[in-house]
Amino acid sequence: MLSAVALDLATDGWRVVLPSRRYCPLPTEDMADAGTRPSRWGRGRRKERVGSGRAIWVEAHWDRPRELARGAEKALTAAAELLVAWVHESYRRSVLGAVEPLLAPKAPVVEVRQLSDLAFLPEEPEPLLAGHPTQQVLLGNLSEDAADRPLGQQEITRGVLHAVERALEGRPSSLHQIGERRPVHGY
């Protein structure tokens, strides 16, 4: 679901680990010119990257979080400096808890969640990994650009990339809503 975000990070020199059920490779030819374009991640963040970027798929199932974490750990060459996660709400706690030990201390986190999954929360959701500055992205059902259509993939990508940028700039934890909730009509 966030392949454009993963591609952008890998093109910019990041080693990206993509746990998912299905193999969906990213086009590596887009990463070939990574050294010739300016970084999108602000203030020379690219200079800190070592080597060329890569996207590595790891077979994973959300209902097996320890197995997912072991696969991700094998694909990493060092502690992860960033976590971007869009995990179904019922698996969120177990999956993020399993991968937290793979993160560098204070590594930023971008958590993507569905507003519809949070409909009955009495207050704003709290980041799960309290020791890491977290940009929470809450996805609505409807586009902000055109209220008569569902939230589109480009809008989601744009919003998540903005949150990643904020995370890499070292901004404090914050909440970002993309799109609108579907209106509830009374009976």
Residue 184 is assigned to a structural domain of this protein: no
pLDDT of residue 44: 39
Q: Which of 161, 103, 117 is nearest to 135 (CA)?
A: 161
- Lowest mean per-residue pLDDT among 9-23, 71-85, 119-133: 119-133
In a domain, 73, yes or no: yes
Domain at 121, CATH number: 3.40.50.720
| Relative orientation angle of helices 3-11 and 153-168, to the nearest 10 degrees | 40
Total domains, the chain: 1
Which residue has better confidence, 50 or 60? 60
Residue 185 pLDDT > 80, yes or no?
Answer: no
pLDDT of residue 119: 66
> How far, rounded to the nearest angstrom, does the alpha carbon of residue 33 sit from its chain's CA centroid?
23
Number of C-alpha atoms within 13 angstroms, CB side, residue 172? 0
Query: What local confidence, expressed as pLDDT, does residue 103 receive?
Result: 96
Span 36-49, pLDDT tens digits: 444 555 443 443 54
Residue-wise over 91-124: b if at least 16 C-beta within 10 A, else e? bbebbbebbbebbeeebbbbbbbebeeeeeeeee
Q: Is residue 187 part of a domain?
A: no
103 is in which domain, residue-wise? Answer: 3-178
Q: What is the pLDDT of residue 46?
A: 42
| 64-120 confidence digits (pLDDT tens) | 999 999 999 999 989 999 999 999 889 999 999 999 999 999 999 999 998 877 766
Residue 142 belongs to a domain: yes
Whether 186 maps to a domain, the answer reads: no
pLDDT, tens only, 130-176 = 899 999 999 888 887 776 788 888 999 999 999 999 999 999 999 99
- Rounded CA-CA distance 60/95 in Å is 11
Whether 183 is covered by a domain: the verdict is no
> Is 175 buried (19+), middle (13-18) or exposed (0-12) by CB count in 10 A?
middle
Residue 42 lies in a domain: yes
How many Å apart are CA 150 and CA 57, to the nearest integer?
29
* Predicted pLDDT of residue 134: 96
